[in-house]
């Protein structure tokens, strides 16, 4: 690790990184997707998935305190002596993070190209530029820049809050269904399923547990309060941006919905401010996710659950092979994938992961066990809805995910038995 | 008790969510792209006031701009072979909309169970879920200022075609508007050209199946609707809006 990460992270920085990890890219692309599904109940979708996220943050933080080390779900399962499940879940997580990075690169390309009046080729070129640029920065050992990230997160949140307040000050309920068909309240469950990935970012902090100052005292309240804050931000932005642009405009221009809302509110100045916020937020989210995913891959390779090829560092101490492989795959997906498919495939991966972590919390905790139980039930319902939605509307991405899951849970042990690993499984 | 609180909460929440609108009017044109219907009749009623109006729209025709009090409106469409299930859209103040009615008049009107499931799970972006039945799609038409580029989009409501690609020929060459599958929309192309010739081809082909000249006032928002095909001809219906004047082209 490099930069300023030698010093321990205080609660304010942890809070900012957790909130920023969630808001970093999610809201920029999720809003149009969720309004298309839940219409005027989009805000409720953010609340439903937010309840799962807040409880999951609580479970992650408490389990991290219990086991006392970095590593998140992988480490929890390892300490429970469930090494095979830990290995399979970690492979699935790497897939989820790769999809998430591709969503952020997709958002970066669209927001910046819109401000520059660029077309499809510029969008793709920008996605490639940010993908390869951040691979390069990571390889040079500047992948983790917590101070810079905190500044970006703060600016990003400030701009989003201003947009939300501006929109809410012009409240007109009809904007929530402007040009669209009103839907029944239970459509909010489908919406919650579609955009769950918007909340995944907080768990990256569990990989930095060793770097957090006094975590036994601060980690639970800091992680949970940041998740609650993000739920409020998402609800406020969902309502505020819709007031400024109208629901149908947000759906039609979902790739750049917040830029359209900001432009409607404050003209060119609004567009410039939102583009800068989106560009920095998505870039920072790509950077931190790529860094953390590569470190995770290196760690599990070190434990013999990925081929030892992944357990390699360059002269800057960076796990270079995972950085390059994950970065290239994510960039490729950003260029070829459709927004909804990427978002929803990633959502499914994280719903499964969070459900597993809440099951662990339910089993391993001595008190408050009903709290993760609620999240398990909610995740199960939302997950089933998402699978049904994908089966009906996007069977190909679902089939690919299913094949990948079979590969991860069935073929992975056979592959690891045949290739060189650090000690074997 | 819980149920009572729940109902009270819902009663309080809904008016707040769907609360009173601003003073401006919403602006709507309805476009008849139904194949096989010489005319359609559209009835639209405001859900808050119950006020209704009926519109008769000839084939490949569009209404004048209707200035509507902001509300959720309930629509039903009667065509040569039946009447659609009612559907609703919100009309917000100071927005311009185009409502395309499309499909094949002779197609079965009743929605299948799978189509309903697909629609519920898929949301507003799922189109043509039940073959070519008569359906509807709302689009925004947001003209900019006169000194801004004009914006062009193409909507493919041509029953039975493969994806269509649209382009605009100007003195300086051809610029692509984009490619759209059935019930899809491509674009926008933003341009400062004052005029051009629009051509539409099947995707991947050089065969022009429809073309039309087009004036492009600065800041105008234009939707090119491709319709027809069952009689072997693709037709183009143009809806163009400009900032201070909105009239059918």
The interface predicted TM-score of the complex, written ipTM, equals 0.84
Q: Using a CB-CB distance cutoff of 8 angstroms, which residues of chain B are in contact with residue A175?
A: 92
Which helix (H) or strand (E) covers residue A72, if one does? helix A72-79
| Residue written as token pair 């879920």 | B129
Surface-to-core class of residue B122, CB atoms within 10 Å of its CB (0-12 exposed, 13-18 middle, 19+ buried)? buried
CA dist A395 to A344, A387, A398, A401, B120, Å? Answer: 12, 9, 5, 10, 16
Surface of A (105-124) touching B: CB under 8 A: 117
Question: pLDDT tens for residues A335-390?
Answer: 887 766 777 888 888 999 999 999 999 999 988 999 999 999 999 999 999 999 88
Q: How far is B1 from chain A (nearest CA, A)?
A: 21
**In terms of CA atoms, which chain B residue is nearest residue A38?**
B123
Set out the domains of chain A in order of their start, with CATH numbers: 11-418 (1.20.1740.10)
Least CB–CB distance from A389: residue in B92, B121, B190: B121
Residue A144 has a pLDDT of 66
Q: Chain B residues contacting A, CB < 8 Å?
A: 15-22, 70-72, 87-93, 95, 97, 114, 117-118, 120-126, 138-140, 142, 185, 190
**In terms of CA atoms, which chain B residue is nearest residue A170?**
B22
Q: Where does the pLDDT of residue A425 fall: very low under 50, low under 70, confident under 90, or very high at 90 and above?
A: very low
Mean pLDDT per block of 10 residues along chain B (249 residues) reads 44 47 82 90 94 94 94 94 90 95 83 76 65 89 89 92 89 87 88 90 90 93 89 89 62
A149/A45: higher pLDDT = A45
Q: Using a CB-CB distance cutoff of 8 angstroms, which residues of chain A are in contact with residue B18?
A: 40, 173-174, 176-177
Residue A403 has a pLDDT of 87
Q: Using a CB-CB distance cutoff of 8 angstroms, which residues of chain A are in contact with residue B124?
A: 35-37, 39, 180-181, 251
Selection from B205, B249, B203 nearest residue B224 by Cα: B249
What backbone phi and psi angles, to 5 degrees, belong to B244? -105, 0
Least CB–CB distance from B118: residue in A35, A247, A393: A393
Mutate to test the interface with A, among B18, B29, B123 (most CBs of A within 10 A): B123
CA dist B87 to A114, B43, B129, B138, B168, Å? Answer: 33, 11, 15, 11, 35
Residue B3 has a pLDDT of 45
Sign of CA dihedral B2, B8, B9, B10: positive
Set out the domains of chain B in order of their start, with CATH numbers: 24-140 (2.60.40.10), 144-249 (2.60.40.2890)
Least CB–CB distance from B87: residue in A181, A249, A393: A181
Tokens linked to B189: 């192309």
d(CA A276, CA A279): 5
Residues A264/A245, Cβ–Cβ less than 8 Å: yes
Please confirm whether the linkage preceding B188 is cis (ω < 30° from 0). yes
Looking at the predicted structure, is the pLDDT value of residue A302 above 50? yes
Q: HSE of A218 in the Cβ direction (CA atoms, 13 Å)?
A: 17
What backbone phi and psi angles, to 5 degrees, belong to A217? -90, -35
Residue B10 has a pLDDT of 44
Looking at the predicted structure, is the pLDDT value of residue A157 above 80? yes
d(CA A139, CA B25): 56
Least CB–CB distance from B121: residue in A117, A173, A190: A190
Q: How far is B231 from chain A (nearest CA, A)?
A: 31
Residues A247/B138, Cβ–Cβ less than 8 Å: no
Looking at the predicted structure, is the pLDDT value of residue A145 above 70? no
Q: How far is B114 from chain A (nearest CA, A)?
A: 9
Q: Is the CB of A195 inside 8 Å of chain B's CB atoms?
A: no
What average pLDDT does chain A have? 88
Asked if B89 and A172 come within 8 Å (Cβ–Cβ), the reply is no
3-state secondary structure of B85: coil
Selection from A189, A196, A188 nearest residue A352 by Cα: A196
**In terms of CA atoms, which chain B residue is nearest residue A193?**
B121
Residue B2 has a pLDDT of 44
3-state secondary structure of A277: helix
**Parallel, antiparallel or unpaired: strands B164-170 and B185-191:** unpaired
Asked if A179 and B123 come within 8 Å (Cβ–Cβ), the reply is no
What mean pLDDT comes out for the span A81-103? 88
Surface-to-core class of residue A376, CB atoms within 10 Å of its CB (0-12 exposed, 13-18 middle, 19+ buried)? buried
């Amino acid at each position: 690790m490099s930069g300023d990460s030698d010093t321990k992270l205080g609660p304010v920085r942890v809070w900012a990184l957790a909130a920023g990890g969630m808001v970093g890219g999610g809201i920029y692309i999720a809003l149009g997707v969720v309004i298309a599904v839940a219409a005027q109940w989009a805000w409720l979708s953010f609340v439903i998935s937010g309840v799962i996220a807040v409880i999951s943050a609580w479970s992650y933080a408490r389990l991290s305190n219990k086991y006392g080390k970095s590593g998140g779900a992988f480490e929890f399962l390892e300490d429970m002596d469930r090494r095979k499940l830990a290995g399979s879940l970690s492979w699935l997580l790497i897939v989820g993070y790769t999809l998430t990075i591709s969503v952020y690169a997709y958002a970066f390309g669209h927001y910046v190209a819109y401000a520059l009046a660029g077309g499809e080729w510029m969008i793709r070129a920008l996605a490639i530029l940010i993908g390869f640029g951040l691979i390069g920065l990571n390889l040079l050992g500047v992948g983790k820049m917590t101070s810079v990230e905190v500044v970006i997160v703060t600016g990003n949140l400030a701009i989003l809050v201003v947009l939300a307040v501006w929109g809410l000050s012009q409240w007109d309920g009809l904007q929530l269904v402007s040009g669209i068909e009103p839907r029944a309240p239970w459509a909010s469950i489908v919406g919650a399923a579609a955009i769950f990935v918007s909340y995944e970012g907080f768990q990256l902090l569990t990989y930095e547990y060793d770097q957090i100052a006094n975590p036994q005292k601060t980690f639970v309240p800091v992680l949970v309060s940041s998740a609650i804050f993000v739920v409020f931000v998402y609800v406020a932005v969902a309502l505020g941006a819709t007031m400024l642009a109208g629901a149908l405009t947000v759906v039609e221009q979902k790739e750049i919905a917040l830029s359209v809302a900001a432009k409607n509110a404050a003209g060119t100045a609004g567009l410039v401010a939102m583009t800068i916020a989106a560009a920095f937020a998505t870039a920072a989210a790509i950077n931190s996710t790529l860094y953390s995913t590569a470190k995770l891959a290196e760690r599990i390779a070190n434990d013999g659950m990925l081929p030892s090829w992944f357990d390699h560092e360059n002269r800057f101490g960076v796990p270079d092979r995972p950085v390059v492989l994950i970065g290239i795959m994510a960039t490729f997906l950003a260029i070829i994938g459709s927004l909804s498919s990427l978002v929803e495939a990633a959502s499914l991966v994280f719903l499964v992961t969070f459900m597993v972590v809440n099951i662990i919390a339910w089993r391993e905790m001595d008190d408050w066990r009903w709290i993760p139980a609620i999240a398990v039930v909610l995740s199960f319902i939302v997950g089933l809805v998402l699978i049904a939605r994908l089966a009906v509307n996007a069977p190909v991405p679902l089939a690919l995910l299913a094949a990948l899951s079979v590969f991860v849970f069935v073929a992975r042990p056979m592959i690891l038995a045949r290739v060189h690993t650090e000690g074997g499984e | 008790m819980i149920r009572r609180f729940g109902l009270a909460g819902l009663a309080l929440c809904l008016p707040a969510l769907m609360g009173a609108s601003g003073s401006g009017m919403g602006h709507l044109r309805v476009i008849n792209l139904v194949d096989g219907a010489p005319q359609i009749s559209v009835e639209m009623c405001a859900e808050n006031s119950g006020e209704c109006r009926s519109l008769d729209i000839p084939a490949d025709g569009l209404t004048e701009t209707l200035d509507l009090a902001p509300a959720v409106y309930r629509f039903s469409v009667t065509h040569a072979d039946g009447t659609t299930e009612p559907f609703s859209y919100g009309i917000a103040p100071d927005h311009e909309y185009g409502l395309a009615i499309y499909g094949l008049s002779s197609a079965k009107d009743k929605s299948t169970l799978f189509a309903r499931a697909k629609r519920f799970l898929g949301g507003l972006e799922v189109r043509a879920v039940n073959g070519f039945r008569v359906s509807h799609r709302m689009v925004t038409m947001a003209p900019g200022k006169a000194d801004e580029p004009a914006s062009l989009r193409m909507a493919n409501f041509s029953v039975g075609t493969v994806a269509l690609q649209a382009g605009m020929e100007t003195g300086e060459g051809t610029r692509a508007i984009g490619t759209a599958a059935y019930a899809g929309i491509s674009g926008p192309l933003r341009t400062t050209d004052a005029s051009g010739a629009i051509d539409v081809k099947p995707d991947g082909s050089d065969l022009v199946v429809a073309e039309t000249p087009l004036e492009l006032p600065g800041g105008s928002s234009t939707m090119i609707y491709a319709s027809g095909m069952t009689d072997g001809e693709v037709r183009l219906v143009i809806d163009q809006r400009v900032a201070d004047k909105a009239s059918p082209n």
